[in-house]
Amino acid sequence: MLKLYNTFGGKFETFKPVDKDVVSVFTCGPSVYQRAHIGNMRTFLFEDTIVRYLEYSGYKVVRGMNITDVEDKALKEAEKEGLSLKKLTDINIRKFLSEMRFLRMKIPDYLPRASEHVDRAADIISQLLANKVAYWYRGNVYFDPLKFKGFGKLFGLDMSRWPKRRKRFHQDTYPGIQWNLGDFVLWHGYNKGDHVCWKSRLGRGRPSWNIQDPSMIVDYFNDTLSIYCGGIDNLYRHHDYTLAILESIRPFPMARYWMHCQHLFVNGHKMSKSKGNIIYVDTLTSQGYTAGEVRFFLTCVHYRKRLNYSDRRMEEVASKLRGFRRIVAAITKRAGKAAPVASKISAAVKKVFAEKIDNDLDVTGAFDGLNDLLSGLDIDGLAAAEASGIIRSLKEIDCVLQVIF
C-alpha cells in the first residue's frame, strides 16, 4: 500500500484517490521569466516520479502543470532583455519542454499558460468580489484572508500574529520564504504606460500570480484533486493563497494530498545569480554526464530532504549508477535471447522496489535495495531464462526510475 507524507496535517497517510478510476494530479510548473535550473528540475522530477509510480501501480493518471508566463518578474526581465513578454517566455518554455524530454519526464496532459486564462481569472475574481472575500482598492483587487475561515490551514499559520491594522501586499511575489501578514493582490489594474494588459470584465489590467493557478485548475479539474505538488517554498504564502481562493468559490476541498519537495543547495548555499552558482542541466551535460546520471542525481536523495550539489558528490552518484548499470549489462549478456521466466530473484527485484517506493517514494532506498540484491548475485550461475526474467522486472520498474536502461 502506497503511503505518502501529506503536508496537510503533517502525517503519513495511505493513498486513496478521490476517484478510483482516474487520479487527478496538479503540479506547480515553472515561472518562465528565466530558465529552469537543476533545483527547479529536482521538483519536477519528484512530481514525474509520483505520476509514473501511480501508473506503474495500475492507476490512470491525469496531470496538469501550470506555466506562469505573466508576472512582475517576467515583465521586468522582458524589458531588461529588450524582448516582448511573449518572446521571452516562449524561449524559456521551449527550453523547459526540451529539458523535460531530455530528463525523460512525461509531458503533462495539460500545460496551460496563465496568459491564456485571463478571462477565467477575471471570472473567479468577480465571484470573490460577490462573496465579499475580495475588494477593490485604488484600481487593484485584493483578497482579505480574514474573510476566509481557516486561512493558512495548509501551512498551519498562527493567525494570532495577524496585524490588527490592514496591510496590503501589491507585488506578485516577494523574496525569501516568510509570510506576508496582510491582504494579497489578485488583479493589477491598468496604469498609464503599462505595456502588458488585457480587457476583461474587471476592466483593463492583468491577473496577479496569486490568481493564476486557480484560473488554470478550474478549467480542467471539477472535483477535489487527489494530489497537489510543488516546491517547499510554495508552502509559504502561495499554496495557501491558491487553496483559499478555490475553496471560496467551490464547495469542496482543493486537494486530498499535498506534497512538497525540499530545496537543492550548491556547496551548502542557495542558488542565486548574485552568488554566481546557478547550475543548469546543460552545465552538467557539458561535463560529460548523461541524462540518466543527471536524473539519478536529482532523485537520489528523498524528496523531503535537502539535496546538496557539489562536483564531488555529483561524480560519486554518477559512478554509483554506472556500477549498477555494469551489473545489469552483465545480466543482460547472460540472458542472451532467452525467453524470460519468473523466478525468486525477479520477484524479489519487484518486491524490494515496491516496498521502498510505497514508503513515501523512497527512491534512495529502492535503488540501494536493488543494488544490494543484484551485487550479490552469481551471474554466471544464472540460467539464461532466469537472467532474462530479472531484466524484464528491471525494465518494468525502470518505467518509474528512468535511470537503469
Mean pLDDT in residue range 150-174 = 95
Which CATH number characterizes residue 68's domain? 3.40.50.620
* Count of domains forming the chain: 2
Q: Please, which pLDDT band fits residue 274 given cuts at 50, 70 and 90?
A: confident
Among residues 226, 329, 294, the alpha carbon closest in space to that of 2 is found at 226
Q: What is the pairing mode between strands 255-261 and 225-231? A: parallel
Q: pTM for the full model? A: 0.96
Among residues 359, 267, 263, the alpha carbon closest in space to that of 304 is found at 263
pLDDT of residue 14: 98
Are 112 and 201 found together in one domain? yes
| Host domain of residue 139 | 3-261
Mean pLDDT in residue range 69-96 = 96
Among residues 404, 403, 405, the alpha carbon closest in space to that of 103 is found at 403
CB 221 within 8 A of CB 19: no
pLDDT > 90? residue 179: yes
Within 13 Å of residue 202, how many CA atoms lie on the same side as its CB? 31
The whole-angstrom separation of Cα 121 and Cα 106 is 27
pLDDT in tens, 126-139: 999 999 999 999 99
Are 231 and 370 found together in one domain? no
pLDDT in tens, 190-213: 999 899 999 999 999 999 999 999
Are 271 and 257 found together in one domain? no
Are 224 and 348 found together in one domain? no
Contact partners, residue 326, CB within 8 Å, separation at least 6: none
Instruction: Give me the long-range contacts of 91-100 (CB less than 8 A, separation at least 24).
Output: 92/30, 92/32, 92/33, 92/34, 92/35, 92/36, 93/30, 93/32, 93/67, 93/69, 95/35, 95/36, 96/30, 96/32, 96/35, 96/36, 99/36, 99/41, 99/281, 100/44
| Percent over 90 (pLDDT), the chain | 97
Are 273 and 138 found together in one domain? no
Are 257 and 357 found together in one domain? no
Are 233 and 282 found together in one domain? no
Are 287 and 197 found together in one domain? no
Are 73 and 211 found together in one domain? yes
